[in-house]
Amino acid sequence: MVKTTRPAESSKKQPRGKPFQPGKSGNPGGRKPKTEEERTLEAMCRDKTQEALAVLLEIMNKGENERNRFSAALAVIERGHGKAVQPTTLSGPEGGPVDMNWTVEFIKPAR
């Protein structure tokens, strides 16, 4: 006997936001450790930080249009030390708390 299903039943996906069983991690092994090559690259970029900073200072003082040098220097600094943290604040009107009490109303259109 062949089991038939409706298309909606067979294409059902896991619900968004809760794809894992309670108490089970979606990434049980955690982040993979960096390879030796990645650690070497970071160390080499850290060693070039002074030169990269010198390029940035030169561009700041004398540069006209040296976007490529600036981008390269910035990439070296970010590769060696990481990107600067961008703090964000979420607030409601006039800095108050965010209102999370929403009401949804379903209205039947008039014909």
What is the Cα–Cα distance from 87 to 40, expressed in whole angstroms? 29
**Is residue 12 very low, low, confident or very high in pLDDT (cuts 50, 70, 90)?**
low
Alpha helix segments (H runs only) across 48-111:
49-62, 67-81
**Is residue 5 very low, low, confident or very high in pLDDT (cuts 50, 70, 90)?**
low
User: Does the predicted TM-score (pTM) go above 0.75?
Assistant: no
Residue-wise pLDDT tens digits, 14-56: 566 667 777 777 777 888 999 999 999 999 999 999 999 888 8
Is 67 within a domain?
yes
Whether the pLDDT of residue 95 is over 80: the answer is yes
In angstroms and rounded to an integer, the radius of gyration of the C-alpha atoms of the chain is 27
Number of domains in the chain: 1
Is 64 within a domain?
yes
Is 38 within a domain?
yes
Question: Rounded to an integer, what is the distance from CA 77 to the centroid of its chain?
Answer: 19
Is 111 within a domain?
no
| Domain range enclosing 68 | 34-83
Alpha helix segments (H runs only) across 1-111:
7-10, 36-47, 49-62, 67-81
What is the Cα–Cα distance from 27 to 4, expressed in whole angstroms? 35
